[in-house]
Every structure is written in structure tokens, then in C-alpha cells.
Chains A and B, each alone.
Chain A
Amino acid sequence: MNKILTDKLAPGHATCAGCGIPAIVRTVLGAMDEPVIVSNATGCLEVTTTIYPNTSWKVPYIHSAFGNAAATAAGIDAAQKALEKRGKLKKKAKIVAFGGDGGTYDIGLQALSGALERGHDFLYVCYDNEGYMNTGGQRSGATPYGADTETEPAGDLAFGKTRQRKDLMEIVKAHGISYLAEANVAYLQDLKKKAKKALGTSGPSFLLVLQPCTNLWKFPTSQYVNVGKLATETNFWPLYEIENGNYVINYVPRERKPIEEFLKTQGRFKHLFAEKNKKIIAAIQRTVDDNWKKLQKKVSDI
């Protein structure tokens, strides 16, 4: 494997074959030359890279708990500031926190909010696979409407998740931080550009990166890039950034593909193609189109 890519996260790790997490971590950390310290929430990334006595991490790394990656990063930031002030540290390293959607939208939201509000100098990266994957595919606040999960399964009387996913980008934006962006592991050049910008920001910055999960979205291991591309080609997962409050859409599909094309690639949406659930697909399409319009409006309003 490319040396530059693996100089921070080694190739030996235990993610599922065809998992996009390592590509996200390597792209983000590869976007800078300065030294980095990583704080990581409990989840797939953490359990697959740190099984004692081995570690895939070639940079300083700490995992503390599920909901506190941002608060742990805040402590590292405070320590660097204090030790620099007291002449015990020459140069501060960049701090990057990684959390899954569960560790970010749900149990870690308060810690993230506090750290953003206090203005710590760190980048928070949420790799979003739309569910609690490390524990077997339960619903999270990021799971989309209609998806079949272990804790909100589809059945004779149920079509899967009955609520929309949280708009985490707007929640994070409300903290007034100067840079945040939505990216997708299927578009690594775009992700790299955003990581560079985020890492160049002083104070907090945030990246929300879609990470299709071969295991629990239920698609073949060779397909994560294709599934990821369809998420953006259908406008289900737009690529955009918010810089000092200004919205920029980074990619506009030449022709927006119907949402079915994304849904039909994955076992978690299979039940929606039953006759009785056709209206659910229609509802998902309406939401996707509405959200896209709202996003475009945010761009033109500026």
C-alpha cells in the first residue's frame, strides 16, 4: 500500500473487507504534514485498529469512551496550551477526533457541542455509516427514514425507521464555527480538499463524511464506492461546505438520479420495494428533493 497513505494508520487492521473507514482516516490525516494527535470514540474504527498488543496507529492516539471523543480532545488542547505557555512544549500538534454517527449525533452530541462552543483548537470528523455498526446495526439519530435496523426493524406492520435523520450539519453550524463540510468517502479528492481547509482553520472545525457500511447496509464488499457515489448522485448526500457562514455546494449531479437507484443497492431498504411500501419510497424522494432545494436556497441567500 502507498507509504504516504499508511504512515499514520498502518494497513494491519480488522475492519470488514470493503469498509470505507480506513480511507477516510488516511485521507484526512494525509491532508497535512504537521504532526497529529488522535482522539477516538468507541466504535468500528476504534475496535478494529487497537487490539492489544497490536495497534495500527503510528501517531499518538487515545480512546477513552463512546461519548467523549470531543471532550478528550478538549483536554489535549488545554494541555498543549498550558504546556506551551509554561515553556514545556515547543510546537503544538494538530488534534483530530474521530467518532461514528452514534458517538457524534447521539451519545457524544453534548460533548461535541461543549467543545465547539468553548472554541477548542481541533478537527472533529464524524464518519457516518448511519447506525451503530460495531454493536451489530442498531438505529441511530443518523439512520435514514425507512431503513431496516436491528432495533427498528421492518416487519408486517413496520417499514423500519419512522423518523427522519437529524440534520447534524445545521446543529454544528449553529455553534458559529468557521469551517464545516459534508463529504463522502466515494469522493476522496473532495474529502482531501475539505480536510486541508478544516485543518487550516484555527479553532474548531468539523467534517461529516458518509461511509457506506458493506456489512450492515448489506451490499457486496466491492461496492462501497459505487453505493457512496449513488448517495450523492441522487442528492441523498450532497457535498457541500459552510465557510464563515457561507454555503457552497461542491458537486451538482448532471442529472439527479431517482432515489430508488440508491435504495435498491442495499439490503437495509429491500423491504421498501414491496408493493405496500411504495409510498415510503415516494416520501423519501420528496424529502430528498425538498432538502436539496433548501440547500440551494441557503447557497443563493448568501
Chain B
Amino acid sequence: MIRNTKVKAMTGGYAMAEALRQVHPDVMAVYPITPQTPIIETYARMKAGGEVTTEIVQAESEHSAMSATVGASASGARAVTATSSQGLLYMTEILPIASGLRLPIVMCVSSRSLSAPLNIHGEHGDVMVARNLGWVQIFSQNVQEAYDNVIISTKLAETMDIPVMPIMDGFHVSHTTERIEVCTDREVRRFIGTRSAKKTLLNLSDPVTFGPVALQNSYFEFKIDQEKEFENVKKEYKKICAEYEKISGRKYGMFESYRLNDAKYAIVMMGATVGTAKEAIDLLRAKGEKVGLLNMRLYRPFPYEEVGEELAHIRKIAVLDRVMSFGAYPPLYQDVVSSMQHAASRKYEIASYIYGLGGRDTTQSHIKKVFKDLEEGEISEKIKYSK
């Protein structure tokens, strides 16, 4: 089959805006913050140039941006937003409301560190705060994935009535230019279709009360039902990725295993630094070292069982988190440790590393050092900083 794709050079921010242009939401409610701003500026230019007809709400804060997105989505509109860092935390109050109301909002995140001290650069501090609020989280390792994930997220959100965050690392992806393949508008629009909401505020003949009070006798059941549906995201995500492969030629899954089959030592990580890690692994492999990588894409809901099975044959694992986690093991590490309960064999050792905070570069030598630690058995319960 000949694919109708075009190769174009663009940054991650532009790529997400380009995907949004193709998705063509009814409403976008936004507020500027680095390194997200290129997405909404690009989109605003597209509107000024007549390429899109989206109603853009230039909110006076992220709290209101997310609130307006909720109002629009509850009205049956396809509604999107975008943010980073403090902006995402400013929205946090409304995030569980969006998921609790089962609104298929897509929020593009250019992930960034948290103040104080102030730092505008890439890491996962912001999105990790929001990891257990009922939003799907999908990480992107490069510009291509940032583009693809916006399209996949839209389809997933509207199929499941669950909000989705496609995430790219601030600057490392959002401001880096790469050549990517772009699908045609027609294909994207056919793939995602139009939103058909079951219940909306605009259906005047069937008035609905969104966001009631639920007391001790019903709140618990609401939350259990929500979690049940959330678990179904995994199945649907796989299905949507398979459909997307047909129009894009790119294969995605809940995670990517890189040279993992016969590996003895493995790193688990996600986001922009995966590319660097793969290069380091290639070099080590050339020297005969049995090293590999598990790159997480679908971070929430976390595929515990599948990750456990995938890592079952690995004896020594390092989990690299791009977030500080005060007084506790970092989140991805905790998730991988939980996954290993599902591993057939339990004879493994697992180490925790924190890397790349506040935009700090993580180079091949950092990755090589991690593998050296694993090979030489320098594994302890202590969290190490890969600075």
C-alpha cells in the first residue's frame, strides 16, 4: 500500500499544533507558558490565516482554561487545551473533575520542571503530579511521536470518554526540529471521525445535571466504575494504535522493547532521553554487552502485567525517572517494582535513578554508567542521581 504522507521538518511544538489543526477541535481554551506556548501561538496563527475555525478562548489563567475546556466538552464540543509546569498544577483542581465527568478532553503537555527555584526546562515534574487523576498519559520520545500521539489521543479520548494527555519533554522535543512524516488531513479526519457525545448540556430536550453531589452511599461506586473503565483504556489503546498503523505505517504499543529479547541488563524509562539511551545501547551492543531498554509510552493506565512479563527474563534493571520524588521512590520505579510481581521469575535486582532534572542533559555516558553499575552489581536500595 502506498501511504499518503509528506515529510516535513518541524519542532515538537509545531508538530502538536499541526496535529491539532488536522484534528480541528471546536474549542481550544488556553493560557501561555513556556515551553508550551509555541503550540498555541502556532495554532493562533493558523486561525488568523484561515486554516482553522476553532473558537479559541484566551483564558486569564490555566484554571479558567481548563474550566472552559470542561464547559465546552460537557456541551458536546471537541475541546482541547495545552500547558506546562506551573500551568498544569494551576489546573490540577479541575483535572479530576474533567475525568470524573467523563469528558474526552485532549491536553497537550510540554513537560517542564516545577518551581522553586524557577526553571523552564524539560523534566516530568508536572505530569507526575497529575498521574493518578483519571487522565490517560502518553509519552513521546521525539517529534514524530508528539505528532502521532495527539491524533491517537483524540481518538482514544472520544472512544472512551476519558481525557488524555499526550506528553512531550519540554525543549528536548518541543523546541527541537526533526523531519517527520505527516498524514493527510483527509486521512486524519477519517481516522478520528467526529465526536458524538451521549449526553450534553446543549441537548435541551434531555436536560442533564453534570457534577452532582454524591454522598457516602454512592461516591465510592462512582469511583470504582470510573476505574473499571480506565482499565479498559489499555485494550482500546492497542486497537487504536493498530488502526493508526494502517494510515501512518508507524507501529505503536503500550511500550517499546529495544534490544530486550536476549538482554541481561535493562533500563526502563520514557520521554525524550530514550533516543540517547538507544544510541548508547547500540554502542554497548557492538562491544558484545547484553543491554536493552523498555520505553514506556502508555504511562497511565500503567500496564503492570505486560511490563512484568516483558522484563521477566531480565536479572538486573535500572529504572530512570525524570522527576524528583521527595521522601519516596520515584513514580516509574515504583510502577516497575509493582510490575515485577507479575514476572514469572522473581530473581531480579532493581535500581532507581533520577536524571535530567531542570533540563539537565543526559548523555550516552550517563546511560553507560547505569549499565556499568548493573553489570558490576552496584545495585542498592538507594536512589542514585544521574547528574
Question: Are A and B bound to each other?
Answer: yes
The stretch from A22-30, A43-51, A139-147, A227-235 touching chain B is A43-51
Interface string of A107-148 (1 = CB under 8 A from B): 000110111011000000000000000000000000000000
B77 part of interface (Cβ distance < 8 Å):
yes
In the bound complex, do residue A82 and residue B26 qualify as a contact, i.e. CB atoms below 8 Å apart?
A: yes
Give complex CA distance A86, B76 in Å.
13
**Segment among A69-77, A202-210, A271-279 that sits at the interface with chain B:** A69-77
* B64–A79 CB distance below 8 A: no
Interface string of A72-95 (1 = CB under 8 A from B): 111111111111011001000100
Q: Does A118 contact B57, Cβ atoms closer than 8 Å?
A: yes
Interface residue tally on B, bucketed by range: 35 or more
Please tell me if B5 contacts chain A, counting CB pairs below 8 Å: no
Q: Does B367 contact A (CB under 8 A)?
A: no
Contact with A along B45-57 (1 / 0, CB 8 A): 0000000011101
Q: How far is the CB of A272 from chain B (nearest CB, A)?
A: 36
Cross-chain contact B27 with A114 (CB below 8 angstroms): no
The answer to whether A71 touches B97 (Cβ under 8 A) is no
Q: Mark B86-102, 1 if CB is under 8 A from A, else 0.
A: 00000001100100010
Does B70 lie within 8 Å of A64, measured CB to CB? Answer: yes
> Does any Cβ of A come within 8 Å of B58's Cβ?
yes
* Chain B positions 63-88 with a Cβ under 8 Å from a chain A Cβ: 63-65, 67-77, 79
Q: Which of the 9-residue segments B33-41, B197-205, B301-309 touches chain A?
A: B197-205
Q: How far is the CA of A16 from the CA of B288 in the complex (A)?
A: 77
Residues of B within 8 Å of A72, CB to CB, are 67-68, 70-71
Query: Do B67 and A79 touch (CB < 8 A)?
Result: no
Cβ of A63 within 8 Å of any chain B Cβ, yes or no, is yes
Tell me whether B212 and A79 are in contact (CB under 8 A): no
Contact A60 B61 (CB under 8 A): no
- Chain B residue numbers with a CB within 8 Å of A50 are 209, 211-213
Question: Quick check: is B279 within 8 A (CB to CB) of the other chain?
Answer: no
- Closest Cβ–Cβ distance, residue A3 to chain B (whole Å): 17
Whether, in the assembled complex, A61 has its beta carbon less than 8 Å from a beta carbon of chain B, the answer is yes
When the two chains form their complex, are residues B207 and A78 in contact, meaning their CB atoms are under 8 A apart? Answer: no
* C-alpha gap A38/B29 in the complex (Å): 20
Q: Does A174 contact B (CB under 8 A)?
A: no
Q: Among the listed A60, A61, A93, A111, which residue makes an inter-chain contact with B64, where contact means beta carbons less than 8 Å apart?
A: A111
* A74 touching B64, Cβ below 8 Å: yes
Q: Does B64 contact A59, Cβ atoms closer than 8 Å? A: no
Measured CB to CB, the nearest residue on chain A to B211 is A63
**The one of B67, B208, B209 that contacts A75, using a Cβ cutoff of 8 Å:** B67
Q: Is the CB of B63 within 8 A of A111?
A: yes
Q: How far is the CA of A72 from the CA of B66 in the complex (A)?
A: 9
A78 to chain B, nearest CB (A): 4
**A78 and B27 within 8 A (CB):** yes
Residues from chain A with a CB closer than 8 A to the CB of B65 are: 71
CB pair A76–B74 under 8 Å, yes or no, is yes
B57–A60 touching, CB < 8 Å = no
A68 proximal to B (CB < 8 A): yes
B348 close to chain A: CB less than 8 A: no
CA distance A169 to B306 in the complex (A): 59
A252 at interface by CB-CB < 8 Å: no
B2 at the interface (CB under 8 A from A): no
Interface residue tally of chain A, by bracket? 35 or more
Which listed residue, B54, B76, B77, B212, touches A55 by the CB 8 Å rule?
B212
Residue B215 at the chain A interface, CB threshold 8 Å: yes
Cβ-defined contact, B60 with A68, below 8 A: no
A64 to B64, CA, bound (A): 11
B224 on the interface (CB 8 Å rule)?
no
- Alpha-carbon separation in the docked complex, A267 to B225 (Å): 46
B218 at the interface (CB under 8 A from A): yes
Give CA–CA (A85, B202) in the complex, Å.
Answer: 15
Residues of B within 8 A of A249 (CB): none
Q: In the complex, what distance in Å separates the CA atom of A221 from the CA atom of B10? A: 67
Chain B residues whose CB sits within 8 angstroms of the CB of A35 once the complex forms: 204
Q: Encode B359-376 as 1/0 by CB contact (under 8 A) with A.
A: 000000000000000000
CA of A35 to CA of B29, assembled, Å: 25
User: Which of chain B's residues 325-344 have a Cβ closer than 8 Å to chain A?
Assistant: none
Instruction: Confirm or deny: B214 has a beta carbon within 8 angstroms of a beta carbon on chain A.
Output: yes
B385 at the A/B interface (Cβ < 8 Å)? no
Q: Within 8 Å of chain A (Cβ to Cβ): is B59?
A: yes
B220 on interface, CB distance cutoff 8 Å: no
How many angstroms from the CA of A59 to the CA of B201 in the assembled complex? 9
B residues near A71, Cβ cutoff 8 Å: 59, 63-65, 67-68, 71
Q: Determine the distance from Cα of A6 to Cα of B204 in the docked complex, in whole angstroms.
A: 17
Q: Is B208 a contact of A110 with CB atoms below 8 Å?
A: no
Q: Which chain A residues lie closer than 8 Å to B208 at the CB level?
A: 60-61
In the bound complex, how far is the Cα of B71 from the Cα of A73, in angstroms? 6
Q: Which residues on B sit within 8 Å (CB–CB) of A254?
A: none
Question: Considering the chains assembled together, what is the distance between the CA atoms of A113 and B218 in angstroms?
Answer: 36
Docked CA distance A77–B226 (Å): 28
> Are A118's CB and B67's CB within 8 A?
no
Residues of chain A lying within 8 A (CB to CB) of residue B213: 46-47, 50-52
Instruction: Provide the residues of chain B in CB contact with A47, threshold 8 Å.
Output: 213
A89 to B72, CA, bound (A): 13
Q: A67-B63, A81-B55, A85-B53 are in contact. Are A60 and B203 (CB under 8 A)?
A: yes
Is A60 within 8 A of B202, CB to CB?
yes
How long is the Cα–Cα vector from A67 to B94 in the complex, in angstroms? 10
Q: How far is the CA of A111 from the CA of B62 in the complex (A)?
A: 10
Closest 3 CB pairs of A and B: A75-B71, A114-B60, A75-B68
Beyond A83-B26, A111-B67, 5 extra complex contacts between A and B, CB < 8 Å: A50-B211, A79-B55, A114-B60, A117-B60, A118-B57
* 19 A/B residue pairs, CB under 8 Å, sorted by A: A50-B213, A55-B212, A57-B209, A58-B207, A59-B207, A60-B208, A61-B208, A62-B201, A64-B70, A68-B67, A72-B71, A76-B75, A79-B73, A82-B77, A83-B76, A110-B64, A113-B60, A117-B60, A118-B58
